[in-house]
Amino acid sequence: MFLAVLASAAATFLTRILPFYAMKNYKPKLWLEATQRDMGLMIMVVLVCYGLKDTKFNVYPYGLNEILAVLTAILVHLKFKNALLSIVVSTAVFMFCLRIF
């Protein structure tokens, strides 16, 4: 049993450390650096598109809840540059709008 645990620990360690060892002299391409730098923005755009895909802008309240939440997220992010704060505040605004509209 001890040898099985030791073998699985060694395998786990090797799979975690080998990519770093193999890539230590690798210089990333420009597109990869740009992707890494802008990944958060890309994820947020996908989430916004997914969240708005079923919004009915021709039925009351005409997407007002979603519009206010998105605008809140944009304004909070421009002011504080904190993605987590933007998500939390815009979610709170959206939930509040759901209750009043």
Cβ atoms of 69 and 55 within 8 Å: the answer is no
Which domain does 89 fall in, by range? 55-100
Has residue 12 been placed in a domain? no
Could you tell me what percent of the chain has a pLDDT over 90?
63
Q: Is residue 38 part of a domain?
A: no
Is 71 within a domain? yes
| Amino acid at position 7, single letter | A
| 31 within domain boundaries | no
* Structural domain contains residue 9: no
On the question of pLDDT at 14 being above 90, the answer is yes
Query: Could you tell me if residue 35 is inside a domain?
Result: no
On whether residue 8 sits in a domain, the answer given is: no
Name the pTM for this structure: 0.63
Q: Decide if 93 is inside a domain.
A: yes
Q: What is the mean pLDDT of residues 27-32?
A: 84
CA dihedral 7, 13, 19, 22 (to 10 degrees): -70
Q: Number of structural domains, the chain?
A: 1
For the cut 90, the answer to whether the pLDDT of residue 89 exceeds it is yes
